[in-house]
Every structure is written in structure tokens, then in C-alpha cells.
Amino acid sequence: MSKVLGILGGGQLGLMMIMESRKLGVKFLVHDEDPEAPALGVADGKFVGDSWRELIDKSDVVTFEFEHVNLNAVNLAESFGKLRPGSLTIWLKQDKIREKSFLRDHGFPVPRFMIVNSPEEVDKAVNQLGRVVFKEPQGAYDGKGQYYVMGEGDLGKVPRRFPLLAEEFVDIYKEVSVVLVRSSDGDVLTYPVTENYHYNGILLYSIAPAEVDEEVAGRVKEIAVRLADTLNHVGVLTVEFFVTRSGEVLINEFAPRVHNSGHWTLIGAAVSQFENHVRAVLDLPLGSTELQRPSGIVNMLGVPYNEEVIRRVLAVPGTSVWWYGKAKVRPRRKMGHVNIVANNVDELRKRTNEVLSIVYGNDIGRYVSPWNLT
Ligand code: ADP
């Protein structure tokens, strides 16, 4: 009998998990409150509204594609012993203060931070940390809910809603991430380190392998594996890092799931992050995470479907397109992405720039506007 995997959340990550792993003979059930969620369109069973109990009932294993999922569903799946990975990571990810405190308390390198509970403590944080990024602990993602204080004049931007996480502003040299997969026996395979480029706080494009020193690449991988072990994680885990100009590496955040910065593995790695996540949570042997060729992705953010654009993108050698089929376009919304492979990193960067200019022209700010202007 085919195994039945239930996915909480029906976004593009669930869509790609299903399309990449259906070949294994697995059946997929999807729950999302929104009946138009992309993964519902390719699921073997669709569960909308509050029908998640039924999904849990009918699944052998339940996983999630996004950490902001219904907590009642997570707790019920866990009480039946079906949830993979466990709920600890979801609990940590619901609050940036919780996540950062956990990392620091377990000895992981993170930017210096303070928890701020009053207007006086806002001033204190600026006095102690210098340049500060204030972050709302809950409901923030893709750069939302962040306030940069680079000088006295910026203090007025900080909302008087507490608590806030006050983090030192890091002089970032590069942003990189490690995507890894861990089995329930504790075996871990890491993908090559990925280099990530953001625009207005959201991932715009990624390149793998990252152009960083071997020693830095080794260090971030070692830290990511240690975190996966500490969390006793099962499935894919992604750890995002800042590499500073002085060569320090700091964890920015982690995602207990497949991740946008791992989309290059769809055509760039022997086995993709999506298939490896499914293999791990179903106790199947893990697949090779080796890089086949230098690979990258360009996110299509806030752009409407346009066949002419897709034609021009596909005419660039080494590209393929994933369009997620979302019902509505909004500025910054992840509508699709382009996979790119090349024979070397220089060629990859050239192709990536070509794709960026086809997708956005000279007008990226129109599609990827800052949060406060959307
Ligand atoms: P989100 O959870 O909304 O994605 P992050 O905390 O990951 O937010 O931050 C998004 C981006 O903002 C980062 O990738 C980085 O470019 C920038 N950023 C976040 N924190 C800092 C910091 N302490 N110093 C400098 N830049 C930062």
C-alpha cells in the first residue's frame, strides 16, 4: 500500500514537494484554509477550511510546508505520533525572541540582541548596540516588521508596541544558507552552501555553490548540522547566516522545512530538497545532495503571468521555469521562480543577470516595493 503523507499548508513549497515526490508512489493530502492554494491543485486529497482533523486521520505521516500553520492541527498530529519534524521548531519559529534566545542559550553564534519592553529600553538598546534593527517578534516574514535605526533621526520609526527584538545591525559581507536533510536515525547530508541576494528584505536570487572560503563553508555547515542535532530534527532544515566582513559567521534564522534558497536543487542537485524531505519523513534512504553543475534561481516576485516573458526566459540556455499558479498577484508575492544551471559560476552569474533583466526590466522597485509602500 502506498504511504499517505499529509501536508499542512498548500503553498508553492507543498506544490513542489508533491510534484518532485509523486514518482516515489506516495499519496499526498493537503490542508489549507484557502481553497485556491497552489498545492491543493495537485493533491490526491484536498482539505480546506477547518477539515485538518480528517487529513490527520487519513495520513500515515503529517508534515508542514510553512511554520505558521494551525497549532491545533500540529498538536493533534503530534499526539498521534504522526508529526515530522516535531512541534519544537514550530514553537520556536512563532516568535523571533524565542528563536534567538534558544540559539544563544545553546551556544550558537547570533548577532548581539536585547529584548525591549518600553520606550526607555529602545533608547538603551541604541546606546548599547549602536546601529540597531528592531524586529517585531511575531507575524513578520520576508523582511516585514523590521525597523532600521542607523542614527538618532531614525528613532521615531520604531513602533511603540512591545516586546520588540533589538538586534545589532550587522555589517554583512555575504548572506549564505545551508540546506540539509536529517533522517530519524540522525544521518545528515548537507547541500553545498548557497549565496543569497535580497531586495527590500526579500530573497531575489541565489547562487550555488556560494563564493566563500572553504573554511567559512565548512564552518557554516558544521553549525547547521549541530543545530539539526540539537533540535533532533527530521526532514529538511535550512539555516540562514550572515558572513561579516571580519569573517565571522552568525545565524540569522532557521527554517524547519524546505526553503526558497534551496530551490536550485530542483535541477542542480542529484536529489532535490523536496524529494529528500519526503524521503526523510517517510523513513526512506536519503538521496545524494551533491551539486551537479553551478546552479541558481531567480524569484519572480509580484509579476503577473506573461507568456512573452516566459518565452524569453526559456530562451536563455540552462533555464527552466516554475510558475506556481497563484490566484492573485500582489507586490512582493512569490509568483514563480526560474532555475538556472551553467558550466561555471561566471556563466551562471551572467545568465542570472539576463533572467533578472527579462523578468523585471529596469523596474524592479515596482514589483518588489518596500513593505511600508505595499
Ligand atoms: P524575515 O524573517 O522577515 O525574513 P530576517 O530577520 O531574516 O527577516 O531579515 C531579512 C533580511 O533583513 C536579512 O536577510 C538581511 O538582509 C536583513 N537583516 C536582518 N537582520 C539584520 C541585521 N541584524 N543586520 C543587518 N541586516 C539584517
Count of structural domains, the chain:
3
**pLDDT, position 152:** 87
**Tell me, what's the pLDDT at 373?**
59
Ligand 1 contact via 170 beta carbon (within 6 Å):
yes
Q: How far is the CA of 286 from the centre of ligand 1 (A)?
A: 31
29 plus 131 within the same structural domain? no
Q: Is residue 19 part of a domain?
A: yes
Asked whether the beta carbons of 251 and 240 are under 8 A apart, the reply is yes
- pLDDT for res 144: 81
CB of 370 sitting under 6 A from ligand 1:
no
Q: With beta carbons less than 8 A apart as the criterion, state whether 44 and 97 touch.
A: no
Task: Report pLDDT for 374.
Answer: 54
Distance CA 322, CA 61 (A): 27
Instruction: Determine if ligand 1 sits within 6 Å of the CB of residue 143.
Output: yes
Q: Which atom of ligand 1 is nearest to the CA of 172?
A: 25
Rounded to the nearest whole angstrom, what is the distance from the C-alpha of residue 163 to the centroid of ligand 1?
18
- Whether residues 367 and 298 share a domain: the answer is yes
* Residue 30: domain span: 4-83
Cα–Cα–Cα angle for 39, 306, 334, rounded to 5 degrees: 40
End-of-domain residue from the set 121, 141, 168: 168
**Ligand 1 within 6 A of 111 CB?**
yes
CATH number at residue 12: 3.40.50.20
Regarding whether 248 and 200 lie in a shared domain, the answer is yes
Whether the CB of 20 sits within 6 Å of ligand 1: no
Low-confidence ranges of the chain (pLDDT < 50): none
d(CA 101, CA 106) in angstroms, rounded, equals 8
3-state secondary structure at position 45: strand
Q: Angle 201-16-262 (CA atoms, 0-180°, nearest 5)?
A: 45
284 alpha carbon to ligand 1 midpoint, in Å?
35
Q: Which residues pair with 178 in a beta bridge?
A: 239
What residues have CB less than 8 Å from 289, skipping those under 6 apart?
180, 181, 189, 190, 191, 192, 265, 269, 270, 271, 276
* CB of 133 sitting under 6 A from ligand 1: yes
Is residue 257 located within the same domain as residue 356?
yes
**Residue 12 covered by a domain:** yes
Answer yes or no: do 23 and 57 share one domain: yes
Residue 105 lies in a domain: no
d(CA 292, CA 318): 13
Q: Check pocket membership of 253 for ligand 1, CB cut-off 6 A.
A: yes
Angle at 115 between CA 99 and CA 219, to 5 degrees: 45
| Cα-to-centroid distance, 339 and ligand 1 (Å) | 24
pLDDT at 142: 72
Q: Are 195 and 210 in contact (CB under 8 A)?
A: yes
